[in-house]
Structure 1
Amino acid sequence: MHTEQSKNPMHGVTLETIVVKLVEHYGWDELANRIKINCFKNDPSVKSSLKFLRKTPWAREQVEQLYLSTFAAQTEVRKS
């Protein structure tokens, strides 16, 4: 029995996990190239990024989309 949330690849993934995994995968410089937001360009940190992303829905959406496109294959494998 699957609920809508169990089908959602973002279910149970925190924003902090998303940011940390993207930074580990791309690094701050490449992340800033892919998503044009200052918190990734100027003195970036996970803490400052989380603060900004929690207040800025459009930026959070871009970060979540990059996470999905980057790690979608891994997410599907884990669910199988």
Structure 2
Amino acid sequence: MPNNSLDGITLEQLLVRLQARYGWPGLAQHVPIRCFQSEPSISSSLKFLRKTPWARTKVEQLFLDTDWT
């Protein structure tokens, strides 16, 4: 990807922004993973996403696809 919009953004910053934008129910709808559906928290989601590359990719893609204007 020539212009990577994720440069300089940590996974935690990305997740905090997405959670503020969509809430846990919205995140679970966009990326249906258990860490967003059952007793979600930033710390538990970070732990899961750091160990699960396919889920992290989906969350990063949601961040890139979100209109932040």
* TM-score normalized with structure 1 length: 0.79
- Say whether 1:67 aligns with 2:40: no
- Say whether 1:46 aligns with 2:42: yes
Aligned to 2:52: 56
Cα distance per residue 1:15-60 (max 9 Å; x no partner): 0001000000000001101101000000000000000000000000
The secondary structure found in structure 2 opposite 1:11 is coil
Aligned to 2:19: 23
Q: 1:8, CA displacement in angstroms?
A: 1.8
**RMSD of aligned Cα (Å):** 1.3
Higher helix residue share: 1
Question: How many percent of aligned residue pairs carry the same amino acid?
Answer: 53
How many residue pairs end up in the alignment?
68
* TM-score normalized with structure 2 length: 0.91
Quote the Cα distance in structure 2 between the aligned partners of 1:29 and 1:61. Answer: 19
Unaligned runs of 5+ in 2: none
Unaligned runs of 5+ in 1: 75-80
